[in-house]
Structure 1
Amino acid sequence: MSGKQLSWRKSTRSGTDTNCVEVGLAEDVVGLRDTKNRDGGTLVVSRTRFTALLTAVKTGRLSARR
């Protein structure tokens, strides 16, 4: 699947900043890309995996390593 086939969104909190991650939605997959380099590649995962990632982040199951 090409990144151009996804419907891309960026958080409204980002404003005009280009140092963000965009999320692209399609019927059964979610794409992730860097706004600094939109043509630099897209990570595509299933909606199920993306939902699991969001749940893990929201519930604090992921921690930053230092």
Structure 2
Amino acid sequence: MWNEPYLETCCRSALHRLTLVGDPGRPDGLKDGPCLARLREMGLARLRQDGRYEPTAEGLGRHAREVLRRCA
């Protein structure tokens, strides 16, 4: 049974970009800002003190399952 909230295509793309950028993080205020905020609300990303987003452990797992299609 599927228990996770659905990720829109734009949010999956934002999550993918978030993982690609790595340690520098993704700055707030870009076009995908609403998706990053949504990912944060879902617990898949967090906003650091420096104003940049980074994926959470849950976000990395979701990225592996949905974007990379790898088993958890």
Per the normalisation by structure 1, the TM-score is: 0.30
Structure with greater proportional strand content: 1
Q: Which has the larger radius of gyration?
A: 1
| More contact order relative to length (CA 8 Å, sep ≥ 6) | 2
